[in-house]
Structure 1
Amino acid sequence: MHRINLLSQRLANQIAAGEVVERPASVVKELLENSLDSGATRLDIDVEQGGVKLIRVRDNGSGIQKDDLALALSRHATSKITELADLESIGSLGFRGEALASISSVSRLSLQSLAAAASDGLAWQVQVEGQDMEAAVTPVSHPEGTTVEVRDLFFNTPARRKFLRTEKTEFGRIEETVKRLALSRFDVQFTLNHNKRSVHQLQAARSDFEKQRRVGLVCGPAFVENSVFVDMERAGLRLWGWVSLPTFSRSQADLQYFYVNGRIIRDKLVAHAIKQAYRDVLFHGRHPAYVLYLELSSAAVDVNVHPTKHEVRFRDSRLVHDFLFSALHKALAEVRPEDHIAASADAAEAPANQLQPGTSDDFYQMESQKPLTLSESGSVHQLSDYSRGAERGQYYQPSAQPRPQLDSLAKLYEADEEIPPLGYAIAQLHGIYILAQNKDGLIVVDMHAA
């Protein structure tokens, strides 16, 4: 039987890296969170070959003192907390002190920084490689703030590198990480470049209009146009943000961002509360889209659950669940059909000469709902034009010769087969209702509640 040995620092760091550094996107997340904790208002991210060759993050934060540079690369070394009581009310994104040590153990890392409090005004650099954990500090020219360069990720752990996806896939994950953090901090400017090509330039947003504009840039203009703003507060909890209308649902849960005190999380309790709020207005198998922010006392939530810090535990989970459900359920209950066509109404108020057929504003270049047609008995003329026109606020001109349409509907009374209870669809109203006809008359069906 083998004797018990104390693991070396290098081996311990590589074991920890297996939890903290899963892929290049994990590195970007940890570095950006450190920059945000330092008070940075501008973040520049440069990536090459999906983050495998190079990840560079530069900020204008408070910087790191010379004497702390080498210590910053040690495990469990952090400036975020100092004593056990600090774990009860964590206000920073990072606090474990494992990120830089884990990253440096599986890459070639260079850290340059000029501290705002440096009396001599000199910047310093520390470089380490996975094979050699000894840090050497040298002077360097650098503006106030910090730059971290991570090169050749997983160069000394080929098994980990072999399981990475394609360059496009890995960069897609990095881009999603930047988007998540950009939605959490509207006051920070984000710039993302891939292979020396600009991908995103998100300016700092301070006004409500600028915040909504950033949401549109990250989630798409269709989401902003088909969402309602929520802002409710009760029992020390505040929920605000944007939730999609029931008509704007997704086939997968890929447009869902939920933040607790500025930290994006994935929590079953939160997901269940939101799903229950949409239960009566959403088709089975469809998913809502939302960008929501929950604010509460830091002592009421525990973020020290997992190394990735994606999971949290609430002190009073029932209170949080009920608050989320009631707030969203109330907001959705107040949605009226006119809210679904608000964009169309705004466009309809424009001068008639601006509503030319075939024209569209970039903000409305979303795919409109396909119109309904008669079943085996003919077609309703110009319904597709109506659907597209209503989407953009244009006026629909009815057919000049409705006789063929009426003749086809008359066949309902001549057919021998049994007519369905809801009859046959003959039109779609406002993209929300179905107008159908059976032997008893006309029926209006709410297609999202049926």
Structure 2
Amino acid sequence: MVQDELPVVVVGAGPQGLAAAAHLLERGLEPLVLEAGEVPAAAVRSWGHVRLFSPWTELVDPASGRLLAGTGWQAPTEGYPTGDEWAEGYLAPLADALDSRVRYSTRVAGVSRRGRDRLVSAGRAEQPFVVHLVDAAGGESRLEARAVIDASGTWGLPNPAGADGLPALGERAAVQAGVLGYRPPTPAEAAAVGGRRVVVVGSGHSALTAVIELGEVARTTPGTEVTWVLRRGAVGDTFGGGSADELAQRGELGVRARAAVDDGLVQMVTGFRVEAVERDGETLTLVAEDGRRLASDRAVVLTGFRPDLSYLSELRLDLDPVLQAPRALAAEVDPNLHSCGSVSPHGAAELAQPEPGFYLVGMKSYGRAPTFLAMTGFEQVRSVAAELAGDHEAAARVELRLPDTGVCGGSGLFDAPEPAATGGCCGSPAAAAPALVTLGSPGA
């Protein structure tokens, strides 16, 4: 089969995968979206109770909107949807519009080149991609593709509580016992810990969301104890940019979390790097590397996510050794180096890999870095689709301005007992030469 007659395989039927398919269709290329879940946006639905801090106007991809307009769908223009509302109001109709181009309950088990393992260079680029699949019943199959866009995200691979990046001793057993989890609690789950002790580990937006929800339980239910654990030695900019954040709802998360702490509903513990998780009856104890012990009844670990690269082992990738993100993009999103909370719009040029025709997009393109915006991914897939269609000028064109977080210095100094005085923040003269900051794990 001639490669041009093959589909472009898109891994993942989430916001970026479905948007990629819409852009490919506009470019005259045939997409095939492979989704491991039983429904579109399965990962989004798993945190469906959480409200996004981007408004509806920034959550609809332009090409997807044009495709949906032909079905009579009208884009919401006001408000901030929850994950469930985003999935039901936009992503599910988009998947329906793509029809048979989306295949569910299909897990990608491997991607390679036809007849070429990773070592073979001769004629490699001339061979189509081979995508190995496993269905819900365990049946195996394979298909060929002219190109592959991996938009599978990182939601399925959360970072552990262990401060060294590996599960703490006893952590796996705590997960199996149902007393430690990696998802923000739903309102019902938060209410269920009323009158008990709960620990939240992490400092990203998911942690802020959990702290706010649990703080409200502590406000209304006597005996509820909420402890918020940070690995870093100081609170720093954990609460975000506040009113300086150009995404008001994102800034509001920090404002509300700070209020929960100031009101005494949540206790903060800094410099706590988990080494072990112990269980004694119904008591769960987190043990820090410095010997401190923190007892609770339930732990919620929200320390970020990491990409699953296991099924890409036979492809030639050029990834940053720290973030596991495309090397050309890593310096823009690395919280160890990045001064202000925004990233320049980017596309096919930054996402390209030594394996021609293969691209990582969406949250997965950020590797282990946090704070990805949907509109960033929409720009990515627009550019990649243009590049695959041969429109190099459009691929190189920037069509997006991203909002600033109002936060400088990544996520704060890891070991400093107090925040360092910088004399300024984003947009100020003092920010021209930002100081180097270090971070243990993104979002922690």
For normalisation by structure 2, the TM-score amounts to 0.27
Larger-Rg structure? 1
For normalisation by structure 1, the TM-score amounts to 0.26
Greater per-residue strand proportion: 1
